[in-house]
Structure 1
Amino acid sequence: MRQHEAVINVMEEHGGYATLGFLNQEVLKVKDCVWKTKTPFASIRRIVQDERFFFKIKPGLWALKSYKEKLPTDILPTKEISKSQKEEFNHTYYQGLLVEIGNLKKFQTFVPNQDKNRLYLGKKLSDITTISDIYKFSYDHIVRMTQTIDVTWFNERNMLASLFEIEHSTPMYNSLLKFIELQDFYTDFRIVADDARKKEFQSKLSLEAFKPIIKRVGFWSYNAVAELHSKTSELISIESKLRL
């Protein structure tokens, strides 16, 4: 089996689409395909860009051209899908990527209760998070506020490790207000949005109200999240091969 055929085979077995991170973990397991290259992950990245067989849906997500008319609307929205639904699908996609990155990094992952049934690549978000109920790590009002944050990573001591708010079009100010309420915790804060909103992020963060957390809040673009997802998957695949 040729290398591009192995990629096609893995995609076909999973509905005709896959994240680059998923391909990094699964394609090399195909028994009938030999990867003699020293850079197999670079080869996979090159293969999915072959427009004869594949097309890009969004950062980190690829599909087979032969499946284009068969893909679910949450994967490839049709023209009939409203703008708000498309935004919800995108929001859930990046939530899912962040959850999977957290899982790969051995964090415990949580999403808000109202998001648990949303679909991420054919699965409910609740199917990929590792905890269903948020830990009572602080006062009740702090916990209640935290459980509205888009993605939370907890460390092995059940304490906050990283917090993520995904901002497609909603005001960033509200997310920063949540972060300022959690400034006393040793945790990282991240706003995830399109690159086009980075200047807006910098402008809002520079306000006097957010001075206590200005050095603790980072901006991650959608492309950066997708790249981190694929690179983390590469590392896990290598570690598994070396049995680390």
Structure 2
Amino acid sequence: MKQHEAVIKVMEQNGGFATLGFLNQEVLKMPDAEWKTKTPFASIRRIVQDKRFFFKIRPGLWALLSHKNKLPLEILPTKAVPKQEQEIFNHSYYQGLLVEIGKLKQYETFVPGQDKNKRFLGKTLGEISSPIDFYQFGYEHVVRKAKTIDVCWFNIRKMPSILFEVEHSTDIQNSLLKFVELQDFNTRFFIVADKVRKKEYSGKLELSAFVPIKTRVQFMDYDKLSDWHTKTFEVASVESSLTF
């Protein structure tokens, strides 16, 4: 089996689409596929850019041309899908990437209760996030605010370690206000958004209300998140073959 055929086979088995991270984890497991190269992940990245067989849907998400008209709406929305619903699909996609990264890094991952039924690559966010109740790590009003944050990573001590707000179209300032409520915890914060919103983010962060968290908040664009997701899966794939 040729390398590109192995990638196609994995995508077919996954419904005709896959993240680059998923491909990095699964393609090398395919029997009869030869990967003599020392850089198989780079080869997979090159293969999915072959427009004869594949096309890009979103940062980090690829699909087979042969399945373009068969993909679920949350994977490839048609023009008939209302814009608001398309934005929900985009928002939950990036939430899902963050949940998957957190799980691979051994964090407990949480999404807001109202988001648990939203779709992510054929599953719900509730199915891929931690199946336990949100940790009561502090005062009730603080925990209540934390529960509204798009993705929360909790460490082994059941404390909030890294928090993410995905700002696809909503007001960045509201997310920063949520982070301010958690300023007394040893927590890092990320705003995840399209790179065109970086200037808006920087302007909001200059407001005096956000001085307490200014050095602890970072901006991450979608491409960087996608790269992080891919690299995390690469490391996990390598580590799975090692004994510690």
Work out the CA distance in 1 between the residues paired with 2:182 and 2:131: 20
The Cα shift of 1:240 comes to 1.0
The Cα shift of 1:169 comes to 1.2
The Cα shift of 1:133 comes to 1.6
Task: Note the 1:80-229 alignment, pairs <5 A.
Answer: 80-229=80-229
Indicate the SS of the match to 2:225: helix
Matched, 1:65 2:65: yes
Work out the CA distance in 1 between the residues paired with 2:141 and 2:187: 18
Work out the CA distance in 2 between the residues paired with 1:156 and 1:121: 28
Indicate the SS of the match to 2:109: strand
Work out the CA distance in 1 between the residues paired with 2:131 and 2:202: 33
The Cα shift of 1:148 comes to 0.4
Could you tell me which runs of 5 or more consecutive residues in structure 2 were left unpaired when the two chains were aligned. Answer: none
The Cα shift of 1:243 comes to 2.9
Work out the CA distance in 2 between the residues paired with 1:223 and 1:86: 19
Work out the CA distance in 1 between the residues paired with 2:48 and 2:83: 28
Amino acid at match of 2:18: A
The Cα shift of 1:241 comes to 1.6
Query: Does structure 2 conserve the Cα–Cα contact (< 8 Å) formed by 1:126 and 1:132?
Result: no
Work out the CA distance in 2 between the residues paired with 1:227 and 1:10: 20
Could you tell me which runs of 5 or more consecutive residues in structure 1 were left unpaired when the two chains were aligned. Answer: none
Taking structure 2 as the reference length, what is the TM-score of the superposition?
0.99
The Cα shift of 1:57 comes to 0.3
Amino acid at match of 2:19: T
Q: What does the per-residue CA deviation read over 1:70-100, in whole Å, with 9 as the maximum and x for residues that have no partner?
A: 0011000000011101100000000000000
Indicate the SS of the match to 1:80: coil
Amino acid at match of 1:119: R
Work out the CA distance in 2 between the residues paired with 1:42 and 1:202: 34
Using the aligned pairs only, state the percent identity.
64
Query: Does structure 2 conserve the Cα–Cα contact (< 8 Å) formed by 1:165 and 1:191?
Result: yes
Q: How many residues align?
A: 244
Indicate the SS of the match to 2:24: helix
Amino acid at match of 1:166: V
RMSD: 0.7
Query: Does structure 2 conserve the Cα–Cα contact (< 8 Å) formed by 1:108 and 1:131?
Result: no
Amino acid at match of 1:192: V
The Cα shift of 1:5 comes to 0.2
Q: What does the per-residue CA deviation read over 1:90-142, in whole Å, with 9 as the maximum and x for residues that have no partner?
A: 00000000000000100000000000011100001111002342100001111
The runs of at least 4 aligned residues of structure 1 exceeding 3 Å deviation read none
The Cα shift of 1:40 comes to 0.2
Taking structure 1 as the reference length, what is the TM-score of the superposition?
0.99
The Cα shift of 1:52 comes to 0.3
